[in-house]
Amino acid sequence: MNKLQQLLDQQAALAREIDATRREAKAEAVAKVRALMAEYGLSAADLVVRNGPKVGATKGGKVAAKYKDDGGNAWSGRGLQPRWLTAALAAGKSLQDFAV
């Protein structure tokens, strides 16, 4: 047998050993968890996180417009002023002129 074939055989044997060890470790972990659950009277429902983020909570969602012009442009009042509003303010209009 050549050296390459020997190394490939060793690799396959190690892969089998790793899989077996991983299965044994997983079985031991499951046994420990089951024992702790029995000791403390826990069920699977007790393991569910209940204080996580609220369902339906939005981050960065759309906000209603606070300012509109006659051309259909709108701005929520957050972030930089849009060009249409900056130009109108430079032309002498007031921000209150565009309030919704």
The reply to whether 7 and 42 lie within a common domain is yes
Helix (H, G, I), strand (E, B) or coil at 11: helix
Please indicate, yes or no, if residue 18 is contained in any of the structural domains: yes
Please indicate, yes or no, if residue 61 is contained in any of the structural domains: no
The reply to whether 14 and 42 lie within a common domain is yes
Q: By residue range, what is the domain housing residue 89?
A: 67-98
76-100: pLDDT as tens digits: 998 899 999 999 999 999 989 889 8
Please indicate, yes or no, if residue 59 is contained in any of the structural domains: no
32-62: pLDDT as tens digits: 999 999 999 999 888 887 776 666 666 667 8
Domains in the chain, number: 2
H/E stretch holding 36: helix 3-40
Please indicate, yes or no, if residue 7 is contained in any of the structural domains: yes
Please indicate, yes or no, if residue 62 is contained in any of the structural domains: no
The reply to whether 9 and 42 lie within a common domain is yes
The reply to whether 7 and 37 lie within a common domain is yes
Please indicate, yes or no, if residue 75 is contained in any of the structural domains: yes
What are the residues facing 75 on neighbouring strands? 67
Residues 36/68, Cβ–Cβ less than 8 Å: no
| CA–CA distance, 29 with 25 (Å, rounded to integer) | 6
The reply to whether 36 and 72 lie within a common domain is no
Give 45-97 as a 3 state SS string. Answer: HHHCCCCCCCCCCCCCCCCCCCEECCCCCEECCCCCCCHHHHHHHHCCCCHHH
Amino acid at 43: S
The pair of structure tokens assigned to 41 is 């009277």
Please indicate, yes or no, if residue 54 is contained in any of the structural domains: no
Please indicate, yes or no, if residue 57 is contained in any of the structural domains: no
Q: What is the pLDDT of residue 50?
A: 73
